[in-house]
Chains A and B, each alone.
Chain A
Amino acid sequence: MDIHEYQAKQLLRPYGLASPPGECAFTAEEAEAAARRIGGSRWVVKAQIRAGDRGRAGGVKMVASPADVREVAREMLGARLVTPQTGGEGEYVRRVYVEAVCRAASEHYLALGLDRAASRITLVGSDAGGTSIESVAGEHPERISQVAIDPIDGLNPADARRLAADIGLGGAHSAGAERLMIGLYDAFVSYDASLIEINPLALTADGELLALDAKMSIDDNAMFRHRDIEDLRERDEEGRFERVRHGFNYIALDGDIGCVVNGAGLAMATMDILRLQGGAPANFLDLPPAAGRDRMTAACRLVLENPRVKVLLVNIVGGGMTRCDVVAEAFASACRAAGRSVPIVARFEGVNRELARKVLRDTGVEAEPAESLGDAAMRAVRAASGGAR
């Protein structure tokens, strides 16, 4: 679960992360009122989306009057913001964060993330804070410092101070930086985070460390022990709401072959092979294994009801918790409920594949059977291009 900047700042404040005064606003008028309450003479208005690189995409704007805060907020709210990190569709902006502008003497980068290969949480820092930290990492790797943290020992203060010195926060700033890093590590562990990223971390002329931006992601697998922050989950977009409600992974794409596939790996491979044969998948869908019939039916309907879909490819390999016949039943009832008919290519392999074919026959779902993955992809691509069935 990714959370918004303002939510991350709130969650991390008790762990020692300071940030300029700010308020979240859902309307332009609220944004203006927030600016007046915050006071001062300059404000920054930031679109709240759960992705980075907002600045270059116009999602972060400085203004000098509460009236301008209102106007900028009006432009941002309700628009889609596309940044290098959002994917092509961008993200819908439902709220903005209004914050007092802070003058930084220097900008730094500080993050905690997961090193999968080493099975460690890693603390990453740089003296080159700002938006292009990945190019810094590529071109000036010496300006990036990392500390791998032993899960039993936790973050050693000495390691924190070494990293602080590496990123230009030594000397007088060392103690404050150490406290902040240890606080952030505590927060990371307490919330089962998978990412905490402070970029930039500003050092003010008074020697204060302030988070100008904050990103935080929480491990979905660990949400069972963080019910208190469950309501930070975003539910504003139709697709995303569906995904959260049914617990399956559906992503709309721009092709015309609807894909009903079980397993994320097989779903990706099915997309790959369709493209290889000149077809275009209309979606990615990882049908959840032990989902229960209702959720499976809901998933199939999402695919079926996409108006772009000209052909349906059902590619199910039964095993583990998934039985082909159960998927076939869910698919058949989705077909009945959807009330639209398109050519269907169905390939079943593994547990109860014969039974699945029988289910489709018995429920009157007309499907062209395919013998293998390659055969199924070929038939689907041919049907989509209007070829003979």
Chain B
Amino acid sequence: MAILVDADTRVIGQGITGRQGTFHAEQSIAYGTRFVACVTPGKGGSRHLYLPVHDRVADAVEATGADASVVYVPPDRAADAMIEAIQAGVKLVVCLTEGVPVLDMLRVKRVLQGTSTTLVGPNTPGIITPGACRIGIMPGLIHRPGRIGIMSRSSTLTYEVAAQCTALGLGQSTVVGIGADPVHGIGFVECLERFIADDETDGIILIGEIGGVEEEAAAEFLRESRASKPVVGYIAGTTAPAGRRMGHAGAIIAGGRGSAQEKLEALRGAGVTVPDSLAEIARTMAEALRA
């Protein structure tokens, strides 16, 4: 069933009664996503996009049995919206909002601990199982149903790689934007676990970039799991000039990890094929599948 979402996923839209939210929710509905309700505090009882609007996520879940929620709420209220969805027991929460304060995300992650909710984002284009369910803002037309799993930190790179795959005839099982913010929900490791376990995914593409240590964690996971599916990777920013830095605490906390070179070596050391050029990602995957 691909991962995280499929044709049966029933979605609530938090904060989709605004202009931008409406635009993207309409596109998702047109794509075939099963939206079942909206949540906008103060607008409960009305209808929007032919859907019932509730004041609270818990009410919407009770009324519709929804198992996913998309959060399209401005940055100052986004954390509260995520926490509300987690506490209402929504299985999958996808937060698209860009600009959520980091300390708010620490609070969200703390609430998430020990629950059965999976959080995607924030600051993500979302998640799509082509032909079945799109929760997010990615262009539907660059995707095709298929058997490649893609996960990425950057929105436009996700689109770039999906478009490359589609052009080569490699459809996608599920594409997950894990989000570009330093603190976010689902990471590369959790995506890998799911893609490896998914019998509709034959190959996995991991698109990372400089900063943080998630690519290193993914490499470590792959080394230990000895997954038999081919994994192709890419790290953006290998030629980025060293920018201005402020202090040393970040480097100490990261334990000296996080450079592009380190990530490349970690991935290659774990058996991931990393082409030199981003333009070769899809072709590299096609070759890996033939091998």
Whether the pair B102, A350 counts as a contact (CB closer than 8 A) is no
Whether the pair A151, B106 counts as a contact (CB closer than 8 A) is yes
Q: Does A265 contact B (CB under 8 A)?
A: yes
Whether the pair A265, B236 counts as a contact (CB closer than 8 A) is yes
Of the candidate stretches A25-33, A269-277, A381-389, the one touching chain B is A269-277
Q: Does A303 contact B (CB under 8 A)?
A: no
Whether the pair A115, B248 counts as a contact (CB closer than 8 A) is no
- A117 with B217, Cβ < 8 A, contacts A138-B256, A195-B246, A197-B248 known: yes
A253–B239 Cα gap in the complex (Å)? 11
The digit string for B238-282, where 1 denotes a CB below 8 A from any CB of A, is 111111111111111110100000000000000000001111100
Whether the pair B153, A52 counts as a contact (CB closer than 8 A) is no
Q: Does B105 contact A (CB under 8 A)?
A: yes
A298–B238 Cα gap in the complex (Å)? 28
A51–B245 Cα gap in the complex (Å)? 6
Question: Which chain B residue lies CB-closest to A217?
Answer: B246
Whether the pair A116, B142 counts as a contact (CB closer than 8 A) is no
Q: Does B234 contact A (CB under 8 A)?
A: yes
Q: Does B125 contact A (CB under 8 A)?
A: yes
Whether the pair B239, A374 counts as a contact (CB closer than 8 A) is no
Whether the pair B183, A269 counts as a contact (CB closer than 8 A) is no
Q: Does B214 contact A (CB under 8 A)?
A: yes
Q: Does B286 contact A (CB under 8 A)?
A: no
A222–B102 Cα gap in the complex (Å)? 8
We find that the number of chain A residues with CB closer than 8 angstroms to chain B is 74
- Residue of B103, B182, B246, B254 near A151 (CB, 8 A) is B103
A86–B99 Cα gap in the complex (Å)? 25
Would you give the shortest CB distance from B167 to chain A, in whole angstroms? 8
List A258-274 residues whose CB lies under 8 Å from chain B: 261-266, 268-269, 271-273
- Residue of B103, B182, B214, B252 near A192 (CB, 8 A) is B103
Whether the pair B244, A87 counts as a contact (CB closer than 8 A) is yes
Whether the pair A268, B209 counts as a contact (CB closer than 8 A) is yes
Question: Which chain B residue lies CB-closest to A374?
Answer: B279
List B89-111 residues whose CB lies under 8 Å from chain A: 99-107, 109-110
- A121 with B106, Cβ < 8 A, contacts A51-B245, A349-B142 known: yes
Top-10 shortest CB links A-B: A265-B154, A263-B156, A374-B279, A113-B249, A222-B101, A111-B249, A266-B156, A265-B157, A119-B109, A268-B237
Binding site for B on A (CB under 8 A): 2, 50-52, 85-88, 91, 111-117, 119-122, 124, 133-134, 137-138, 144, 146, 150-152, 189, 192, 194-195, 197, 199, 215, 217, 219, 221-222, 224-225, 251, 253, 261-266, 268-269, 271-273, 275-276, 284, 290, 317-322, 349-351, 372-375, 377
Known: A133-B248, A272-B278. 5 other contacts (CB 8 A): A151-B107, A195-B249, A266-B236, A321-B20, A350-B141
21 interchain pairs (CB within 8 A)? A87-B242, A91-B244, A111-B252, A119-B109, A134-B248, A151-B106, A192-B103, A194-B102, A221-B102, A264-B180, A268-B210, A269-B237, A275-B239, A284-B240, A317-B163, A319-B155, A319-B156, A350-B142, A374-B277, A374-B279, A377-B279
